[in-house]
């Protein structure tokens, strides 16, 4: 089955700096890659996603890049703010034709701390 | 407001007891999911349902059961057969489209502990 590795497990940045979180996946058939932000005691919130037919996607201060050849994808947060502090999860899904499960396999998360 | 409601927020289970976690959504989503989250771990899929009266096992279904009698509701029962039930349980839902992943949206979870 699919395996997703996420690095680093913790990340501290100064307010205003950029943060980058990287994930690698094992199954070349994976074609959907969402990123979630989870605050303490809350459920994960989808912040951005990318499909395999796109190399990069941006939404204001957040961007995601995908390298299908290397099987890795990254989350980039620019001009970080204290409210960006949370745990971030990447995930991958095959969404294959027929099986219909669209099961998401998650990384183990990155705890981001933005220091004022 | 549309969303996913999980209840209760905190739940305690005695040894040998079954407990049921509630999940309701008013997003008109076809698919619903249950995940388990342990400290420092990613989310692991327990069960999912694409349509009413149908559900499939995920990676860690042993000791759990579900039902899907209504589109809006997908309750999870943690049975006494689940020997390590202490965890944060998350329910999610999404639209369903053949051959295309649709974003999954999560509730705010139920934290289950053993007395």
- Cβ-nearest to A43 among B42, B48, B108: B108
User: For residues B24 and B40, is the Cβ–Cβ distance under 8 A?
Assistant: no
Contact A42 B108 (CB under 8 A): yes
Q: Which residue stretches of chain B have pLDDT < 50?
A: none
Which residues in chain B have Cβ-Cβ distances shorter than 8 Å to A2?
A: none
In this prediction, residue B102 carries a pLDDT of: 82
Phi, psi (degrees; rounded to nearest 5) at B53: 65, 20
Q: Cα–Cα–Cα angle for B38, B44, B31, nearest 5°?
A: 130
In this prediction, residue A20 carries a pLDDT of: 98
In this prediction, residue B1 carries a pLDDT of: 60
- Cβ-nearest to A106 among B6, B40, B42: B42
Coil, strand or helix at B91: strand
A–B CB contacts, 8 A cutoff, strictly below: 66
User: For residues B46 and B76, is the Cβ–Cβ distance under 8 A?
Assistant: yes
Which residues in chain B have Cβ-Cβ distances shorter than 8 Å to A7?
A: none
A61 touches chain B (CB under 8 A): no
A25 touches chain B (CB under 8 A): no
Q: How long a stretch of residues is chain B?
A: 115
In this prediction, residue B57 carries a pLDDT of: 93
- Cβ-nearest to A95 among B50, B99, B107: B99
Distances (CA, A) of A24 to A6, A64, B35: 7, 13, 21
B95 → chain A, closest CA residue: A102
- Cβ-nearest to B43 among A41, A101, A106: A106
Binding-face residues of B in 21-50 toward A, CB within 8 A: 31, 40-45, 48, 50
Number of H-type helices and E-type strands within chain B: 0, 11
* pLDDT one digit per residue (tens) for chain A, 116 residues: 789 999 999 999 999 999 999 999 999 989 999 999 999 999 999 999 999 888 999 999 999 999 999 999 999 999 999 999 999 999 999 766 445 457 899 999 999 999 99
| Residue B52, token pair as written in the block | 């009413």
DSSP codes joined into one string, B25-88: E-S--SEEEEEEE-TT--EEEEEEESSTT--EE-TT-TTEEE--SBTTB--EEE-TT-S---EE
A5 → chain B, closest CA residue: B42
In this prediction, residue B99 carries a pLDDT of: 66
In this prediction, residue B70 carries a pLDDT of: 96
Q: Which residues contact B84 (CB under 8 A, 6 or more apart)?
A: none
A26 touches chain B (CB under 8 A): no
């Amino acid at each position: 089955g699919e395996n997703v590795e996420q690095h680093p497990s913790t990340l501290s940045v100064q307010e205003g700096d950029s943060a980058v979180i990287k994930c690698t996946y094992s199954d070349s058939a994976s074609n959907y890659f969402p990123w979630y932000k989870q605050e303490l005691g809350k459920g994960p919130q989808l912040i951005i996603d990318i499909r395999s037919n796109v190399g990069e996607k941006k939404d204001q201060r957040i961007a995601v890049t995908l390298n299908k050849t290397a099987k890795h994808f990254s989350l980039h947060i620019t001009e970080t703010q204290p409210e960006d502090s949370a745990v971030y999860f990447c995930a991958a899904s095959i969404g294959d034709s027929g099986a219909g499960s669209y099961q998401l396999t998650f990384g183990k998360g990155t705890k981001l701390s933005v220091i004022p | 407001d549309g969303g996913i409601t999980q209840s209760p927020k905190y739940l305690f289970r005695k040894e040998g007891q079954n407990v049921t976690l509630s999940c309701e959504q008013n997003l008109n989503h076809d698919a619903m999911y249950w995940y388990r989250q342990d400290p420092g771990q990613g989310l692991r899929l327990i069960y999912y349902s694409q349509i009413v009266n149908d559900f499939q096992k995920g990676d860690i279904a042993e000791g759990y059961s579900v039902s899907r009698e209504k589109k809006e509701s997908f309750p999870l029962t943690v049975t006494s057969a689940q020997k390590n039930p202490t965890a944060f349980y998350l329910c999610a839902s999404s639209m369903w489209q053949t051959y295309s992943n649709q974003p999954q949206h999560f509730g705010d979870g139920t934290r289950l502990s053993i007395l």
